[in-house]
Amino acid sequence: MKDFQEKGYYLAKNIFSKNDIRELESEFDRIVGQLNNSGEDIDATWVGNAVREIADNGDKIFHTHNVHKYSAKWLGAMQNPRFLECATAILGDDVILHHNKLFQKPAEQGSPFPMHQDWSYFPTIKDTMIAAIIHVSDATDEMGCLRVYEGSHKLGRQLGTDGQSATVAQILANYPIEKAKIVEASAGDVLFFHYFTLHGSMPNRSDKIRKTVLIQMHAGNDRIEDGIDHPYEGLALSGWNYFSTRNSVNA
């Protein structure tokens, strides 16, 4: 996939049909309702000065990991042939689910995310990790859609790029979110990007809810570095997981 290799991201249009999205949105809303009724803290707004500079008091974003553990339809979405066609074009035949997460940016007060790389949260030995954002709703600039710096994946691992640490200020000075490329998308589109690609999103100030599910995947011949504490499924979405062991699958 030439665009992905050159730019560090690729927007795949109409991966999911209107029918698909109608069903997935219903399941999405059901998950959010169940979370709200659970009494858990489901606000995933980041901390730190970088967030405070672009957020307002009262901003929030609803979040949970691993929607496939709530809904069989969402597991099916990750096994959708059109979705996997794109994933395998980037990663090869063997595609491993690391984790996924639901994000709902409420209307008018949806939290932003400052510019960051993902690698420090779940680094892999061969750095094959990618993300895929399934757009359950439209995502416009006003709704706080993703912004990226084209080609920034070629920077490799940059320290202080987690978006929350004190050292993020230097990265933000060089790659301000205001100048990043705005990637608007329609419901059913999927945005793929490398975990080195600098990305972020502004707040949702529209009167519409922004709904996305983000899938983190890596190649089957890659694995997470030792000592990383993060939810990890290790589920083969395509092909084979070369690093599965009896212990790892029972974890």
Q: Three-class SS of residue 67?
A: helix
Q: DSSP secondary-structure letter at 225?
A: P
Question: How much is the pLDDT for 251?
Answer: 76
Distance of CA 141 to the CA centre of its chain: 17
Q: Which CATH architecture has domain 2-250?
A: Sandwich (2.60)
Of 161, 164, 165, nearest in space to 199 by CA: 161
Q: DSSP secondary-structure letter at 152?
A: G
Of 241, 247, 236, nearest in space to 221 by CA: 241
Of 14, 9, 15, nearest in space to 83 by CA: 15
Print pLDDT tens along the chain (251 aa).
788 999 999 999 999 999 999 999 999 999 999 999 999 999 999 999 999 999 999 999 999 999 999 999 999 999 999 999 999 999 999 999 999 999 999 999 999 999 999 999 999 999 999 999 999 999 999 999 999 999 999 999 999 899 998 777 777 789 999 999 999 999 999 999 999 999 999 999 999 999 999 999 999 999 999 999 999 999 999 999 999 999 989 87
Of 212, 204, 152, nearest in space to 176 by CA: 152
Neighbours of 167 (CB within 10 A): 11
Please tell me the pTM assigned to this model.
0.97
Neighbours of 99 (CB within 10 A): 19
Parse the chain into domains and list their residue ranges: 2-250
Cβ(200)–Cβ(180) below 8 Å: yes
In the numeric block, the tokens 């109409």 are attached to 14
What is the distance in angstroms between the CA of the first residue and the CA of the last residue of the chain? 34
Q: Using one digit for the tens of pLDDT, what is the confidence trace for 201-222?
A: 999 999 999 999 999 999 999 9
**Could you give the CA distance from residue 73 to residue 68 in angstroms, rounded to a whole number?**
8
Cβ(51)–Cβ(169) below 8 Å: no
Give alpha helix (H) positions in 54-167.
72-78, 81-91
